[in-house]
Chains A and B, each alone.
Chain A
Amino acid sequence: MAETTYIEAITQAMAEEMARDERVFLIGEDVGAYGGAFKTSAGLLERFGAERVIDTPISEIAIVGAASGAALMGMRPIAEMQFIDFITCAYDMLVNFAATSRYRVGSSCPLVVRGPAGAGVHGGPFHSLSPEAMFMNRPGLKIVSPGTAYDAKGLLKAAIRDDDPVIYIEHKFLYRRIKENLPEEDYIVPLGKANVRRSGKDLTIVTWGAMIYVADEAADALAKDGVSVEVIDLRSILPFDEEAILTSVAKTNRAIILHEAPLTGGAGAEFAARIAEKAFDYLDAPIKRVASLDVPTPYSPPLEEYYLPNASKVLAAARELLAY
């Protein structure tokens, strides 16, 4: 069976859901005739027509707002941000309108907002965002961040079928670097469920998105020293799989949280706090966070490399914890 790239998995998920459910449509900038800035929607216009693959003016508020209005009317919109950084332009609409709709007035607002996120491709300050933390403290949204092609497809399908608004963070660094054999048959990856990517007994790394590969690299290196690392790919940031985190920490007694967004106020702070509150007795060492620097994402490769987490930063943190 043919290997599927991460980006093809996203395209397949959209196409299959649009074929399965006529309420599903795609709306965004350059998603139609051009097929999306990264060609994520290539072929969808030809297959589903301009009524369901909607090109818009450069108006993120209008894209997310119109998707929200349509969602209230029973549609299943997928709103594309050309780069996820531009979701900040629609922040108000998402956190005040879409996120609160069910809680405030009992109205389901099932839209998916998705777009290319993450650094490592020299996109600079405005094309490198990892936006999860800025939405975590605004209840009502769900947030997912796949790191594999399998999860990219399964999480997107689950997000489209979900009755609540979902922010789907796809990592552009992975688009064409990751290839996997995917099942032929329809499947979803349930929202809110982590994946134990690698089983181990000495140290837990909780991570997601492109950082799962950094965790793998660190885990391989530590394995050579006889250290057995458990890697939890969180996949869903909100709601998150607290049980998976706590179960792992109870087993390994050491935890690193690894994420690509800047350290301070990052999602890792929440997970660290949760471990401290609920698994303190199991810990043999402090909880460590490895994240990007607290600066905007710089453009030049040496700067960006210094800014981002990498395996050696994870190894340094791990060795510190293992010394306890």
Chain B
Amino acid sequence: MALETFGLTRDQLLDIDYYLRLTRTLEERLVAMFRQAKVIGGLYRSLGQEGESVAAAYALDYKQGDVVQPLIRNMGAILVAGATPSDIIKQYMAKGDSPTRGRELNIHFGHPERDGFIGQISMLGDMIPVMAGIALAGRMRKKNLVSLAFIGDGASSTGAFYEGMNFATVKKLPMVVVLENNGYAYSTPTANQTAARALADKAYAFGCASDTVDGNDVLATYGAVKRAVDHARSGGGVTLLEVITFRMKGHAEHDNAAYVPPELVEEWKGKDPLQRFERALVENHYASGEDFSRIQERVRREVDTATDEAERSPMPRGEEAAMGLYAGDGYWES
């Protein structure tokens, strides 16, 4: 049977492969820099979750004004939306010319209207009401945009998640919520997070559409998100989409995840989204090993250049800490 590509062209499929490789390579670079103490704060891997991150963000239309909001394991999503590797490395290195000028960590950056993405705050549930507000503003301004929020099995236990989902559904906002079930929130397994049979079942309480997809199947995830995006854009309202995936590393690099049964990690190693995607493209004659080599070469070059640029960047001046709290001091305009 032919591969279901949901209308994606060969170029787009290779483009997706590029973002998958870019995400993984950039993270591997950050791990190396973390071990060299060049990353100032923590480092959170998305290994095993690059597929759903990239696929979901790829289903949006940024020219239309769509906005994606990642969690820490969705670096791939903001790369698709237009964040650059050098921006991200500078953020991790707390550089003075990073997008947040050293004020914020990792991928906590981006402006919804200017960049098409908005970084999360650490109170993750809060982003659901905020993304509802972005969708609301889009509708008020007749933009026909869709907002896409990522949320995890952990943050879907917060009150803000419930208020935001309920509000967005009542108001029939053009919004897609990708609920990642990656097995663990820090050390807490999903079974200790909720007694719901499936996270997608939470949709019944809200009255929104719901769906479930294999998050390690890049094309299936793209297809499911695209359906939800089209549904939202055509006035159908909110979709809660559970993506089943697995967090292959600890909560962050400092966490050896000894609480995760090793056989579970082994099982999911066989489901690596990048390998599955590339294998499917080869088997269905969309791409060859040469295509992937070329993409990997390009990615390596870009990550090298970005690393050099970030390393050369200055740290912020200490006295900048006092600036830019309110409008009017000219800090952010300078």
Residues of A within 8 A of B (CB): 25, 51-52, 54, 56-57, 59-75, 77, 92-93, 96-97, 100, 102-108, 139-140, 142, 162-164, 239
Contact = CB atoms under 8 A, between A and B. Distances in A.
B118 to A, nearest CB: 7
A70 B126 contact: no
Nearest to A106: B332
A72 B111 contact: yes
A93 to B, nearest CB: 6
Interface stretch (B133-141, B226-234, B240-248): B133-141
Nearest to B133: A69
Contacts of B138: 73
A65 B128 contact: yes
A139 B326 CA distance: 9
Interface string B157-168: 001100110110
Interface of B: 99-101, 103-104, 108-113, 118-119, 121-123, 126, 128-138, 140-141, 159-160, 163-164, 166-167, 170-171, 324-328, 332
B102 to A, nearest CB: 11
A70 B327 contact: no
B130 A73 contact: no
Contacts, number: 144
A69 B327 contact: no
Contacts of B130: 65-66, 68-69, 72, 93, 97
Contacts of A107: 111, 118
A105 B110 contact: yes
Given A65-B128, A70-B140, A140 B325 contact: yes
Contact of B100 (A74, A77, A105, A140): A105
B325 A73 contact: no
A65 B175 CA distance: 15
B325 A97 contact: no
Contacts of B129: 59, 61-62, 64-66, 68-69, 93
Contacts of B123: 92, 96-97
Contacts of A61: 126, 129, 159-160, 163-164
Contacts of A74: 113, 137, 141
A71 B327 CA distance: 14
Contact of B137 (A62, A69, A96, A108): A69
Given A105-B99, A139-B325, A65 B104 contact: no
B134 A104 contact: no
A96 B122 CA distance: 9
Contacts of B99: 105
A25 B166 CA distance: 21
B113 A69 contact: no
Given A61-B129, A65-B129, A69-B133, A102 B163 contact: no
Nearest to B324: A103
Nearest to A69: B133
A171 to B, nearest CB: 25
A63 B170 CA distance: 13
Given A62-B163, A69-B112, A105-B111, 7 more contacts: A66-B130, A69-B135, A72-B137, A74-B137, A105-B99, A105-B100, A142-B326
Closest 8 CB pairs of A and B: A69-B133, A65-B129, A73-B137, A66-B133, A163-B327, A62-B167, A70-B137, A59-B163
Given A66-B133, A103-B325, A105-B108, A25 B140 contact: yes
B111 A65 contact: no
Given A69-B131, A70-B133, A93 B126 contact: yes
Which of A56, A63, A65, A140 has the most chain B CB within a 10 Å cutoff?
A: A65
A59 B166 contact: yes
A109 to B, nearest CB: 10
Given A51-B140, A69-B129, A97-B130, A103 B103 contact: yes
Given A102-B324, A163-B328, A59 B100 contact: no
Contact of A68 (B133, B140, B141, B325): B133
B164 A72 contact: no
Contacts of B164: 61-62, 65-66
B100 A106 contact: yes
A254 B324 CA distance: 36
Contacts of A104: 100, 103-104, 108
Contacts of A68: 129-130, 133
Contacts of A140: 325-326
A161 to B, nearest CB: 11
A65 B132 contact: yes
Given A61-B126, A106-B100, A93 B131 contact: no
Given A103-B103, A104-B103, A67 B133 contact: yes
A107 B163 CA distance: 24
A173 B72 CA distance: 47
B119 A105 contact: yes
Contacts of A108: 327
A57 B132 CA distance: 13
Nearest to B103: A104
B140 A164 contact: no
Contacts of A71: 133
Contacts of B111: 72, 105-107
A141 to B, nearest CB: 10
Which of A25, A74, A103, A139 has the most chain B CB within a 10 Å cutoff?
A: A103
Contacts of A139: 325
Contacts of A75: 137, 140-141
A62 B132 contact: yes
B45 to A, nearest CB: 23
